[in-house]
Structure 1
């Protein structure tokens, strides 16, 4: 099949898009990708797995407001339509909720099946994303990022698409409540490929910089739902009990990272906590390598209770014991695989207790790390999720073959 993926941001990077494209390409499908051009990227480019079409988003104020109000981007509609006139498209695969209505408009016109790939619970996410501090920003956030508006929009468009992809069963449970047929909903999780980190060379300078420390790490954004604040506060209870402790928050940037730096200063943890700005992915394996414990300390929101990050499975593939918060998907996976400990979400004292428990028992750290590795190689491995993704397109191909047989 010729598959057009639609992404509402710049590409690269996007780990999930790359993994899906690689799996579909390997299975004989031809891939195209529509993404934004927010710099000087080439308008057209050939990736290993697909041909990329890029466009510069229209940032004119009225166009942006129209998009916010109507959940449709006229520019995206035009760009998808232009691609369809250039190449034969058998299916449209939309990444994340904001672009679904725009893609639907074209798909329905040309009678093309459409797949909505929901990386996260967008209605819930809109409630916790940071916005500007002015009264205009606050009013705009209340009106346009309103949870009920996004839920109604989500319910409407998901009933019209052919297939829906979510990352965890907890997200599927949420979508089923819209009255959507279970057979339309598929779980393709954020698991990783065995051996993926073997492609990266370890950075000796990073290894040497932290070799004297007991390293607890969190790798990823530090927005308020990620739990960086909970992790920092937990270290305040451990700074004297674990004299050589070092919490590394790798990937912190933006306004919320500045708030976390202030929290570190206020708690006098400058020697124990370090925020490291965004790092290229080839450095991530080294930070994983030097870690004694890896964290996913998500604070509890509806959003974090219905998703799972790639980093959990990356930690597991690196044989690292994990400590995660009690958000449902995290708790379920870690308890199922016996790969780490679970602390009560938003409870820094409980997180501190769990860190100290692993600090005092290297044997337990080793057992949990190996359990996680075995799970990430087997049940929680991308090879299984790739099969589920491919099966969706097998169903579409069979449906298309039947339709052609009827027409002939």
Structure 2
């Protein structure tokens, strides 16, 4: 790609850029934002404007990143009201108020906004201050809205979502925004191709920065020796760790267990993570309907140490996502974390995950939302576990020594900002 020559008056002729990241969330708890900010801070100055929980410092320097927690995080009800206000014209009133001060006092030269909701707010600020704008799309947000809210039963919440957070409204907003930003970042090539196809964005404006994991994450498994499944040594453990949302495909794995148990009587599916009441009741009803109380367990959110122990101690780690416009545009962090655990990986055939599993020969895949296909792959892994461990060993090598780690995949991110230096 030819070097882009900017006429923005705030880009200085120096080697170090002052990059302002904007996040409608908490820092450093957002994994993707933290990795990007810390990585860029080794070569440039990075400032983060974000939310603040009660008790957090308003300003803090974390691993070289200057964090400004200028937006007080309110309770759930008030946040919902603010979200509605922001969705009316897609301008967030609190970030709009803070951005000018953030830009001027820190002499920001490029604004890097994380995800679609704050896009317009940040874009207007970048245009006013004549600085570079970068939109980091963590996912297909319009499609994600449809997925996230599909199991919500509260009539008032459903009405609010249908009016303010419906797919068509946010797709049109996405279409307007992404063509106006100087650069876009996506997490997978499939998302990049979607944007090019649907919105006619030039390929040179888009870079891909996956949710890959740092090599050092591998040490987490070496330093956590206490087995999570110590009381279930006689079980063949199939585990999932993460959110329990409707797009996760957990229902497919549960229903698949009625076929798995016929071939593997000691099989146990363990689903670990936070879930709201509606989701938990839905999954419990599937377990009961299929008489799987002895073969499926739902467990609450656990500590980080327990997460790595679950991955390390499982015979199979699964990512059973359903196939839709949302899941076909991303690969979750846990995919790369599982690779570094050295344990076998089974995913649904969502295009990005299937592509990596097939091209690198690092795991197995089944047909999304097909319980029998899921069961067939579980049984295949169980019957030839030696082959499964060979694939997982190759997965570890790709994630540690190959191209599927943060140290490798983040190079495009650094190049984007290095190329802005004039």
Matched, 1:137 2:157: yes
Which secondary structure does the structure 2 equivalent of 1:239 belong to?
helix
Pick from 189, 192, 208: which aligns with 1:187?
Answer: 208
Pick from 264, 269, 294: which aligns with 1:247?
Answer: 269
Contact 2:73–2:79 (8 Å) recurs in 1: no
Which secondary structure does the structure 2 equivalent of 1:294 belong to?
strand
Matched, 1:40 2:55: yes
Q: Counterparts of 1:260-271 in structure 2 under 5 Å? A: 260-271=283-294
Contact 2:312–2:341 (8 Å) recurs in 1: yes
**CA apart distance, 1:91:** 1.1
| Aligned equivalents of 2:230, 2:153: Cα separation in 1 | 41
Pick from 66, 69, 72: which aligns with 1:51?
Answer: 66
Contact 1:223–1:257 (8 Å) recurs in 2: no
| Aligned equivalents of 2:282, 2:33: Cα separation in 1 | 31
Pick from 117, 121, 136: which aligns with 1:98?
Answer: 117
Contact 2:27–2:34 (8 Å) recurs in 1: no
Summarize deviations over 1:294-340 as a string: whole Å, max 9, x none.
11100111100111111111111122221111111111111111112
Matched, 1:127 2:146: yes
* Runs of 4+ off more than 3 Å: 60-64
- Structure 1 residues not aligned, in runs of 5+: 402-408
> Structure 1 194/205 Cα, relative in aligned 2: closer, same or farther at 3 Å?
closer
> Structure 1 61/165 Cα, relative in aligned 2: closer, same or farther at 3 Å?
closer
Which secondary structure does the structure 1 equivalent of 2:215 belong to?
coil
| Aligned equivalents of 2:271, 2:81: Cα separation in 1 | 38
Q: Counterparts of 1:4-403 in structure 2 under 5 Å? A: 4-26=20-42, 28-54=43-69, 55-57=71-73, 59=78, 63-130=82-149, 132-177=152-197, 178-199=199-220, 201-202=223-224, 204=226, 206-255=228-277, 256-377=279-400, 378-397=402-421, 401=422
**CA apart distance, 1:203:** 5.0
- Match in the other structure for 1:406: none
Moved more, 205-214 or 326-335: 205-214
**CA apart distance, 1:207:** 4.4
Aligned residues: 397
**CA apart distance, 1:40:** 2.8
- Structure 2 residues not aligned, in runs of 5+: 1-16
TM normalised by structure 1 equals 0.92
Which secondary structure does the structure 2 equivalent of 1:324 belong to?
strand
Contact 1:202–1:286 (8 Å) recurs in 2: yes
Higher RCO, 1 or 2 (CA under 8 Å, sep at least 6)? Answer: 2
Tell me how large the CA RMSD over aligned residues is: 1.8
**CA apart distance, 1:381:** 1.7
Contact 1:203–1:283 (8 Å) recurs in 2: no
